[in-house]
Amino acid sequence: MAGQGWELVGAPNARDLGGLVGADGRRVRVGQLIRTPALGRLADEDLPVLAKLGPACVLDLRDSSEIAVAPADRLVGEPRVVHLPVHDPEHPVFTYVSAVLLGHDLDAYAELARQGTARAMAAIYRWFVTGESARTGFAEAVRLATQSENLPLVYHCSAGKDRTGWLTVILLTALGVDESAIRSDYLRNNALTDSLRAVIVEALRRRQPGLDVDAVLPVLEVRAEYLDAAYDEVRRVHGSFDAYLRDGLGITDETLTALRARLLE
Which residues carry out catalysis?
A: 157
Contact 141, 33 (CB under 8 A): no
What distance in Å separates the CA atoms of residue 165 and residue 12, rounded to the nearest whole number? 15
Whole-number Å distance between alpha carbons of 144 and 146: 5
Instruction: Give the three-state DSSP class for 38.
Output: coil
Cα-Cα-Cα-Cα dihedral sign, residues 175, 148, 11, 30: positive
- DSSP E strand stretches across the chain: 15-16, 33-36, 57-60, 80-83, 153-156
CB 61 within 8 A of CB 162: no
Q: In what order do the strands lie in the sheet with 80-83?
A: 15-16, 33-36, 153-156, 57-60, 80-83
Q: How many CB atoms lie within 10 A of CB 174?
A: 23
User: Which residue type sits at 210?
Assistant: G
Distance CA 228, CA 238 (A): 15
Query: Which residues make Cβ contacts (< 8 Å) with residue 164, sequence separation at least 6?
Result: 35, 36, 37, 61, 155, 156, 157
Length of the chain: 265
